Structure 1
Amino acid sequence: MATTRTFTFSTLPPLRDFQFLTDSSGYVLTQTGQLHRFTGERTTLIATPPEFTISHFYFRDQTHGAVVGVAQTPEPSLRQGSIGVAALPLLLLLWLAWQHRHRPLVRSLFSGLSGLLLGGGLLVSCTGWQQYRTPDPTSPHASLLSYSALGPFSHIYSPNKGQKSFVALTDNQGGSWETQQLPTNFYPTALTSMGRNFLVGTYANAQEGPIALHGDGDLFIYGTDARHTPRLANNSNQRPYGISMSRGITGLLVSALDSALYVFGSDRMPTLPNSVMSGTPGNIYVLPATLQAPSRLIDTPDTVDVHSLSQAQTGELWVTMADRKPQLRDRNLVYAPLPTKRLLRFTAGKWQPVTVPPYTSFEQIAFVPGTSTGYLLAATGEVLETRTNGTEWHLLAGSRAIRKLHPWQRGITWLQGENQLVFYPTPTQK
């Protein structure tokens, strides 16, 4: 019979994240970027690539794992994908006009052609992609997309000048690593596995500061597991396949319940020319296991980032939202603070706000897959439990020091205080 277990790592710096792989072993990441393997309260430091500081990690089993992070390096050169292909003819026209700038006929021809090209581009960007989007008959908050651009590409955000992002893969418990530079200078912000492949989500810039906010992001895939997606048989770690999301990614959820990948984060980042992704509102992107169309975009009631997402046994989606929203102020994009981190439930195609008195603000929602049990982390640090798919909640842990939840196949785990982990088995496992 499983029992609650607590593990204290008093010799380690404060923990940033963790992952249980059994009820008493797994991996932890410190706030200083060091990765450790633990068995009980005994830890072993893992030597990780020196090229970058780790921000996220994920192991799909005891031996196969990945880490991601960023490092400051000299300015990268522009790569394919950093300038739209549609701009090349216009650049050619500009060059021709410069070479023959004193000839009136060339100037007139240039003006006419550039106007035609610009007008045609705007027309195509406003109308061409709409054939790939249809309303979802089951919900006014969702759209169905029949277009999916899965393939290799790169993406550069010029204000992130000088930044390089990395991923490293191991197949021997971190004994050695294969390190690759991500084909972007966005921040890696999410990491998980799907089958034998690792998925990396990115966000151009989600923080206020000297670099402008930018809610753009992409999904990159590492691995050649082609059981659900035959095209991945030709995938390469040096030039990985990916999907442009046109929105910043804060998390990834692989659901066995409906064989789908949930990509969540910011709302769209409109661009010119528009695409089906940047032209469709929504901050939850639902892809089938094939990673191909048809897919679905679900829009929460506001432009606030989705902070966490989980799926109940009923199929309903639950999300917690950030406590800030982007706002244009003095021609600068900044965040406007919100009073709470809202909890929302997507049921019967509609969003319903949820409160659990006396709590009104929530950090994270997590249902244990295959059970009716779920856990809710209040902004004050307490944990609530439901055994009825969210119909009723009760207080489970009154500590105000709990900072992060991770469901596991046999229970819920959480980070408490600076360096304490708790494994709590689901009631049916006790």
Structure 2
Amino acid sequence: MSAEVVPAPRRRVMPNLTGFWVIAGLYGMFLFASSAPSPLYVVYQAQWHFSATTLTVIFAVYVFALLVALVFTGSISDQIGRRPTLLVAGIVQVVAMVTFAVAPGVFWLSLARVLQGIATGIATGALSAWLLDLQPEHRPGLGPTVGSTAPPAGLALGAIGAGVLVQYAPAPTHLVYWLLVAVFAAGLLAVLAVPETMPATASWRQALRPKIGVPAQARGAFIAVTPLLVANWALSGLFLSLGGSLAAGVLHSRSHVVGGLVVLALAGAAVLASLLTTKIASRTLMLGGSVALVIGLGIALVGLHQTSTGLFFTGSVLAGLGFGPAWMGAFRLVITASPADQRAALVSAIFVVSYLAFSVPAIIAGIVSTHLGLLTTTTWYGGIVMVLTVAAAVATLLHRELPARTPRTHCPACPGTTAPHPTAATTE
């Protein structure tokens, strides 16, 4: 008599809309974790007595690791599936948070940042694409909107949340990371129930191939907006790496919350502006954002020189209101000039430039500040950012290339930015 075959229990799968918000929450938490160390840098610096140069290197290794991971794995979830990709990223992220929590010195802190960068680089493509897969059919713009605002919202909340914990909670260099370990562990369990939308079609080895390039049709637009990409992301790098030091050393604030508010002012305003300007034409959006960015940064620099916290934060908020639209408009201009079947490689090229600008100038600023002082360095840094922004605006006004007319197809979403998905872009 043959034995009765008992079917294996099926994994319980949550509804698509529930899964959508689970993925959105995880997306935000990955970026929350990436900015959580920002208010702690001043604490680490006081405990371990390292220079501003070392501080910016600790910040920058995260970006380099993220960049490498993004180039090699940005579209990997299209080939091996969304869930396996995100589970791997989540496990690496948990290891990174534990490493942060137990770090006894600069080496371990840097290692934690590298692991965190790898995890975020692997996760962002999968998270962005999964949001698009799971968005409600009756709200086709929800995925791009949430995908474009979750990262900067996470950055802003991570900085202020960590700042509050550092200021008012015990074990300031440990508690936030143990809380994040719990959050990501719960998130990994939830991911097991999110509907898989992309069956595996290749092995990890086959999928790990970098895809990067600028199509001929988009080169003019890419060259025109590159100074703005550099300016925007260099400014973000300055705020995230040296924002706490500016609050403590220049504005003479002893509150770690203020260090977090420096990041919140820029990133939070960028989120708000991005949400309110989604229907504005790309060129108008970039040019208007560039004007606000230059004016806001100028006001912030005046505030630093006058030791005026209020003026500094007013300028930072205004710069953020320009940052979001300027970046979104620039991104759209480039993407819509490219054939749809070459956009994945173009997205990678854009982020190579952006993430290098996010890290390298901050390292240079850290080195220079040890010789010229933080205020003088920040003044020159801000001046260069303003010049690059104006140069990009002028180049964009002179460049009138029409967008490529190609069918809309799926491509990897835009990780870690305030930009909408390329297929949702608005042109002239």
- Indicate whether the TM-score tops 0.5: no
Higher percent of residues as strand: 1
TM norm structure 2? 0.24
Relative contact order higher in (CA < 8 Å, ≥ 6 apart)? 2
Higher percent of residues as helix: 2
Greater Rg over alpha carbons, structure: 1
